[in-house]
Amino acid sequence: MNIRNVANLFVLLFLIWLLLTGTFELTSLLLGLVLAGALALIFGKNSSVFGKLRFTPKMLAYSLIYLFVLSWEIVKSNIDVALRVINPKLPINPGIVKIKTRLKSPMGRMILANSITLTPGTLTIDMKDDELYIHWIDVKTLDAEKASQEILGKFEKLLEVIYG
């Protein structure tokens, strides 16, 4: 049994519990602790998704920054897609681009792929090792490096600090 993975999963599940319930009542906290503990013991012992993840103050601070950046990018992308729908004269040049990520952590790559998908106008279609295939509503470049910077730029830097 990998104690670190169980502990990381327990902390993550309990934080999710707190966010979903929004209460600090004793019965709710105890139920959350029991459920998070049981699920962490069942699913965390053989999992390698966390890798060498360590909960440090720096990691937690960058995670909060990441949430704000992701939220801002989602808002901007929503406005961009809405304007394209309202004004048909705005360019739409859909296509699939292959981009490379520097992230080594499976968890970091998963969060990156999901963040791209959450941002309107982009959709992660496939991920193989360090390559992601993205459907992009307005392909601005076919150059993999430029496309990577355009799509991953803001997300990847923060995720590198958090997950390596």
Per-residue model confidence as pLDDT tens for the chain (164 residues): 577 778 878 888 898 898 888 888 999 999 999 999 998 888 876 666 555 666 678 888 888 899 999 999 999 999 989 998 898 887 788 888 888 888 888 888 888 999 998 888 889 999 998 889 999 888 887 777 787 788 887 888 888 888 76
Number of structural domains, the chain?
A: 2
pTM of the model: 0.71
Whether residues 71 and 135 share a domain: the answer is yes
Query: Does residue 122 share a domain with residue 80?
Result: yes
Q: Which amino acid is at 99?
A: I
Residue 78 lies in a domain: yes
Domain of residue 146, residue span: 57-163
Q: Look at residue 128 and tell me if it is in a domain.
A: yes
For residues 86 and 139, membership in a common domain is answered with yes
Indicate the Cα dihedral angle 92, 75, 163, 113, nearest 10°: -30
Residues 149, 80 share a domain:
yes
Q: Are 65 and 137 found together in one domain?
A: yes
